[in-house]
Structure 1
Amino acid sequence: MLQLVIRAVPVQRGPQGEHVSYLSSLPFGDITRLLADGRLYVPNEPELPDLAQRKTNPTRVKSISRYILDTYQKGSTFFPPICVNVQPSPNYSDGNLLLPYDSVVLRLTDGQHRCFGIRKALEDVQFNQPAHFPILSQIEVGVLLYSGLSIEMERQAFRDQNLLAQRPGTSLSYSFDQRSLEVTIAKSLIERVPSFCNNVEMFENGLGRNNAKLLTFSTLVKATQHMFPGLTSDDGLELRTYWATCFWTATARSLLGDPWEIQSSSKRIKQRQQSLLGSAVIFQALGLLAYDLQLEGISAGNLPQWLFRLGEMDWSRENALWQLHGVTTIGSQGVPILQNTKTSIDAAHRILRDFIGLALMNSNLRERTKPELPEGHLADQIVDDHTEDSTITS
């Protein structure tokens, strides 16, 4: 009888040896073959009587496939184990699970998108880089094998595995990220822009009442994504980082009273209550404004000439301009409310763009009136370490 032999280690899941699982691994190539012949079975269609999975999300499959292709050659593909329910219960002998190949079914209880992503990555490599196909086929994914669970227990396993999982906070996730180009730029900005140094919350998603930081790291990354949308290559990364540094430095220096400086908790609370300057909405709107300036071909050295007018803006929450254009709304108690939504961000972006002198004539053409710096403006103090006319080209 043909047998499927899997090296495995038993794991005690319950008392008195009655509930045993097994830890093992499978090469990517075997995952694809087992999917193809139905041995690795995904009960994810709602009409199935043995339904025990969610429906497949094709977008997630593509994302995982892209992740594999971006990381496998560096050995930095990090997957949690997939989970399967072995039917019927396997025999375990001398470190091996012995499965009758003609009758065994490996019911996937967790990891369908990983498995389908593995299959798609192998298909893409076989088509585009056939020489790499054997390499990718031999990379392994961990497998947790349950032994003969009933359909009710299999569904419980799926529920528990997914409900008990907790995604990391966005700021924490970005803080640990070593791959994203926007994150790389944002981390450099924290070191280079005086207003951001020691003033960015790196781990928490929000700024609690007693948190005196200026903004969260997730907000800075999102602003950077607005500034450099669709960034896929590290070509010119240092030039982009330098331009972004000049943008944020010039913006901070244009603001009266240095509102972005490090402050006590009480002062920061008061600022958040009275002003929009420290809000996620405004930081993201400024990121969009920076993108506009890049499209205009504004060099790092000329940024102060465009941004100095931000110091003339009335940033108070009570400013009727914000409500008039949909940035804020009036709550039930008559107090302006600011919500971190795309609508609010886009509305704030339009206000800032028009306020500094950028007026859109249509979606492809811009009318520009270059403002003049008042004599002795602080922006004159920005030192250009590259060239005064350095610009970013796409």
Structure 2
Amino acid sequence: MSSFGAIMVSFPGAAHRQFGKQIYTTLIPFGVMERFLMVDDDVQRKLNKRRVKSIANYILMGIKDGNLCFLSAITATCRGPIQYNEATNQLSIDISTQMSVNDGQHRFAGVKMALDTMRRKVDTSQGQQRLEYSEKLKKLEDMAIPVVIFGNLTKVMEQQLFHDLNLLANKPTKSVSLKFDNSDLYNAMAKELKNENEWLIRFGIETERTSLSERNRELMVLSTLRNMISFIISGTDKDSNAVLTLENYNTWKTDVSELIDKLFSVLPEDCNDRSRYIIGLAATIQGIGKYINYLINKENLSDEKLSGLKKVDWKHTNPHWNGAGGTFDPVKERIVFGGTGGGVNGIYMKLIEINGPSI
């Protein structure tokens, strides 16, 4: 394909120009990504291994039926000649050419880890299970990721490209991200319950902001509701043991909705007044969720035990809360939590202390 006798590999694509630079778009299958893409430390930040593992798990989850998973385009610089045939819309690259990843190194590494994980499962399994893993591996290898390729940039240009792609982007807030995320089961449940549970509809769930002022009468933001549900079900906001699954999702959703009904039936009617009560604070809501999990697993939860929360004084002025992961600010006349994690555990432990080992 090349007049110079080089071995060229072709992909379907398109050619464009951006600010005087040649730019190409194509799709590269997962199975051949490693042959063409590489990461140059001089034009990239340090790889976050935890993030890579998270992306790999996300990809592996994506090959299951019914899951909604997507990977956005990788941006790379081609350090060699590119040929483009306008008649056939074919992009041809020398097989020995390396393309330096400028944006998407964690996606690239995540794909590699997912492939390696599935290859190990194929190698270490037998019989029907080996066939199933082999089919999943083929499905992964046949998948493709969009790649935007800049032709022959200098290293200085590559560094600027990394800067512009990563530092000029406006990252959405956590609540906005969760608003559009349907892959996380806890988030899916939070979004459904905020529209179905009468108490949550009454008090309101904010889906755009990351925090709420005292004047705002919505009870909590979406991310807080998501974490509260996770605490109720798994005892944490991470659920690394996958307590919630697709199989038990509907059962847990019904149970959580009923627990929310019982909870808010014993809390003050104006519990969303953050100037008066600590209930509308993220740490408190999640701490209550963790406490409910404790009652479920340690105290054989009953309506009578949960109704014990009715006798709790939730006002900022209650001295019980001073030191429960937060401190009383005499100027603001309210409890202030220095960190959500400490506040969650502080509220959780204080509720056990106030109500005793069994309520």
Q: TM-score, normalised by structure 1?
A: 0.77
Partner of 1:338: 336
Choose from 185, 208, 212 the match for 1:207.
Answer: 212
- 285 and 167 in structure 1: CA distance in 2 versus 1, 3 angstrom threshold: same
Q: 2:258 maps to which residue?
A: 246
Give the match for residue 19 of structure 1.
Answer: 21
TM-superposition CA deviations, 1:243-264 (whole Å, max 9, x none): 22232222211124x124xxxx
Q: State the match for 1:66 in structure 2.
A: 57
- Change in 2 beyond 3 A, CA 1:41/1:239: closer
Q: Count residues with an aligned counterpart.
A: 331
Aligned equivalent of 2:84, options 92, 107, 116 = 92
| Cα distance in 2, alignment partners of residues 238 and 98 from structure 1 | 50
Q: CA deviation at 1:21?
A: 0.5
Aligned-pair RMSD on alpha carbons? 2.2
The structure with more radius of gyration? 1
Q: CA deviation at 1:188?
A: 3.9
Percent identical: 23
Distance in 2 (CA, whole Å) between partners of 1:73 and 1:240 is: 21
Q: Do the aligned partners of residues 124 and 320 (structure 1) sit closer, same or farther apart at CA in structure 2, a change above 3 Å counting?
A: same
Counterpart of 2:149 in structure 1 is 145
Q: Distance in 2 between matches of 1:298 and 1:239?
A: 18
Could you tell me how far apart the structure 2 residues matched to 1:10 and 1:145 are?
9
Q: How far apart are the structure 2 equivalents of 1:343 and 1:92?
A: 57
Deviation of 1:290 (Å): 0.9
Cα-to-partner distance string for 1:81-114 (whole Å, 9 max, x where unaligned)? 1111111342323323333334x22111111111
* C-alpha distance after superposition, 1:142-180 (max 9, x if no partner): 000001111111000011111123332222222222232
Q: Say if 1:242 and 1:120 are closer, same or farther in 2 by CA, change over 3 A.
A: same
Q: 1:298 aligns to what SS in structure 2?
A: coil
Give yes or no for contact 1:275–1:316 (8 Å, CA) kept in 2.
Answer: yes
Preserved contact between residue 126 and residue 132 of structure 1 (Cα < 8 Å): no
- Does the CA contact (< 8 Å) of 1:190 and 1:196 recur in 2? yes
Cα deviation, 1:337-380, whole Å, max 9, x if unaligned, reads 4124211221111111222232xxxxxxxxx4xx4xxxxxxxxx
Q: In 2, Cα distance between the equivalents of 1:319 and 1:108? A: 56
Aligned residue type for 2:205: V
Task: Flag structure 2 segments of 5+ consecutive residues without an equivalent.
Answer: 122-132
Contact 1:309–1:355 (8 Å) recurs in 2:
no
Match of 1:114 in 2: 107
Distance 1:324 1:13, change over 3 A: closer
When residues 180 and 334 of structure 1 are mapped into structure 2, their CA distance, relative to the original with a 3 A threshold, is closer
CA distance in 2, matches of 1:297, 1:316: 26
Q: Which whole-Å deviations, capped at 9, do the CAs of 1:255-286 have from their partners, x for residues lacking one?
A: 24x124xxxxxxx6xx2122212211211111
Q: How far 1:9 moved relative to its partner?
A: 0.7
Is 1:82 equivalent to 2:74 in the alignment? yes
Q: Which runs of 5+ in 1 are unaligned?
A: 45-50, 261-267, 359-367, 372-394
347-356 or 140-149: which moved more?
347-356
Query: Quick one: which of 6, 14, 17 aligns to 1:9?
Result: 14
Distance in 1, Cα, partners of 2:323 & 2:94: 71
TM-score w.r.t. the length of structure 2 is 0.84
